[in-house]
A and B are shown apart, each in its own frame.
Chain A
Amino acid sequence: MAAVGARHDDTPPGDRAVLAAAGIEKTYRRGVWPARRWVRVLQGVDLALAPGEVVGLVGENGSGKSTLMKVLVGALSADAGTVTRRGRLGYCPQEPVVYERLTCDEHFELFGHAYGLTDQAERRARRELYEALGFERYAATRTDRLSGGTLSKLNLGLALLADPEVLLLDEPYAGFDFDTYLRFWELVGERRQAGRSVLIISHFVTDEERFDRIIELRDGRAVPR
């Protein structure tokens, strides 16, 4: 489950970092011999996330944002580098990853068991998320019958369910209407107040003031913006 060279343990390199990545490299192989070529996406990314910090990760299309996110989550192995993190991690992938024939309620129940929440804690968190994101009326609807926006809410809700110490959100508000977008930021604000760290990927950032800092992926490296 851990990425190559990753140390998902309780000993972060920095003094306060809840998530730290050092020297992450990733190259994709494309095509077959003799037309094989290599695409270098990440060329030594260093990144650290302190408690209570909301960080934006931006970059052009194809700059490697989602690749970096997957490496940080442990869904993709890096060619080189280490990832260390403390505490629980919540991950919201760019494309909603859900089971087509299960309802929203059933998804929360299943992920509650994955996170190790008690039934009571899971139901409370589920209620709060329905209320915060405004999709309670779809609680008993199968995901293959949800609209794109509601599916995005469920996708985000599954990452937020266990109130994890680190939240990694890949384009989380892409399908939201403006009201939901504002409610999303309220939720992020509450998490920040509680000392949770949030890394948000976006191909463009409109409200820079909402972030503590913004990092740009350029030429395979992370640079402050």
Chain B
Amino acid sequence: MTTALFERRFLAEAARTPVNLLVLILVPVVFVVVAARPLADAAELLGGPGGPAAQTATAGWAAGFIAAIAMYFQMRAARAADRRLVLAGLAPSRLVAARMATGLALALIATAASLLALTARTGIGDDPGRVLAGTLMYAVIYLAIGALIGTLVTSPVNGTVLVLFVWILDVFFGPVLGAADRPVTRVLPTHFVTLWMVDLPSQHSGRIGDLGWALTWAATAMAISWTVITAAGRTARPRHRTRPGSAAGQLSAGVRMGLREATRNRVLGALLIAVPVVFVLLAVATTPSESTTLTVREGGRTLSQEAWLPDIHGGTMAPIATASLTTLAGLFTVLDARSGDRRLTLAGFRPLTLLASRLAVIALGALLATAASLAVTATVFDARQWDLYIAASVLIALTYALIGVLLGPLFGRVGGVLIAFLLPFIDLGIEQSPMLRSAPPGWAHALPGYGAGRVLIDAALTPAFDETGPLLIALAWLAALITAAAVMFRRTATAPHH
């Protein structure tokens, strides 16, 4: 009874943030509807089975990601209050059961949304029970990943980047998007679940079978969740926790302090470097030896160009990783500093000077991630126009960092993170990707990555610059986002609440 009561209360707490519920449904639906078909095509290109199998798997991927993020934020937000509950006499086992049940309920909402979207989009296949059970196993496994990261990583930006990192590795190098028989990818959390769910026998599961391994993963995940949530409740200790100055002085102090604060978040610094590096190298390592056809502009004409996949894959994957990272960095830099910034402006700090300081710090983070990504890309890929390729990469990173700045005040932490995951992925990973279609569809011209994405491809594959129009579109996006960020910042960091 107590457990059920606590679960109800925890769910009510989640429901009182309407944007959370919205994204729990919206993100999986958009992901499945938009990403299913392109990912199926990508899967075929990358040596995976493609077709309905890949489309079915998107439901699991969406449910898994949402489950991990929901569980991560539950663990972080409720840590202190949960400890007080245990100190007040609540049995830790009841608390753990309530937390897990809450996470599972949230994951079920995402699962239902994913499956309904899948049914409407492509149909759920011949064996709906298998798809349902597989999607649930995804959610359970990712609940554990969210709980584990929630226990180990305090900073939301680091935690969500880690969740994103695990998810990207799991999806992109899993058996549906890549080949199913590589020994190195068999250890990925949902390797066997995916194979069983899309009915693609692995041939390497031994006596226990793919379903056996999938259930073992799910059971182990439940055990891990139970252990880490109990440990968090038991061992965690409470944390000790006129005339304004000249604009130049404030700007200098703002940037200096912002940089000190950012450099003290060493985990984020390491992630900004490590995530793109690992992502690009793994992308290259798992690319099949095949060629593909791309549409490029050269000498004012649109041409179809044959390209060897291993040569270009690394160069086209790098911006996805940097854009996702810089979106999160922009989002959390502004959100974490929000209450302090409000106090600082009340004390006399110029709002636009403060925004300039914040943007300078975010831009440096974006440059760091881009530099790491480009350094490793240079070892596996040779752009035809390196200077332009670097400029386009920086443009993508800055554009998405500014989008992150806007997402925080608009959608809050959880909603912002989910959209920060969805938008760069759909924009750069799917719609602008030269790997999946020869040219972006008409509607994708309106996405923020279109202009810079075209310039990037032009720089990567052709000897001369031919994309003036898209470059101007990219610069217009940058200018519009800076203006929007300034308006938003004035409203949220300085204006009174109503």
Contacts and interface: CB of A to CB of B under 8 A. Distances in A.
A98 interface: yes
Contact of A1 (B242, B249, B257, B495): B495
B253 interface: yes
B438 interface: no
In the complex, which range does the number of interface residues on chain A fall in? Answer: 35 or more
B475 to A, nearest CB: 32
B257 A106 contact: yes
Given A102-B257, A115-B347, A74 B496 contact: yes
Nearest to A91: B346
A142 B240 CA distance: 11
A110 B343 contact: no
B337 A99 contact: yes
Contacts of B207: none
Given A100-B336, A102-B261, A146-B241, A111 B496 contact: no
Nearest to B350: A114
A150 B240 CA distance: 9
Interface residues of B, number: 35
B496 A98 contact: no
A143 B337 CA distance: 13
A112 interface: yes
A116 B348 contact: yes
A23 B157 CA distance: 44
B239 A4 contact: no
Given A77-B497, A115-B242, A101 B343 contact: no
A187 interface: no
Contacts of B336: 100
Contact of A76 (B243, B257, B347, B496): B496
A113 B242 contact: no
B216 to A, nearest CB: 39
A162 B244 CA distance: 11
Interface string B366-410: 000000000000000000000000000000000000000000000
Contact of B261 (A1, A32, A70, A99): A99
Contacts of A75: 342, 346, 496-497
A148 B241 contact: yes
Nearest to A146: B240
Interface of B: 18, 239-246, 249-250, 253-254, 257, 260-261, 264-265, 336-337, 339-340, 342-349, 494-498
Given A4-B496, A91-B346, A113-B349, 16 more contacts: A70-B496, A75-B346, A88-B242, A100-B336, A102-B261, A110-B253, A111-B344, A112-B245, A113-B249, A113-B250, A114-B250, A115-B242, A116-B244, A144-B239, A151-B241, A158-B347
Please give me the 4 A-B residue pairs with the lowest Cβ-Cβ distance, nearest first: A114-B349, A114-B347, A77-B496, A116-B245
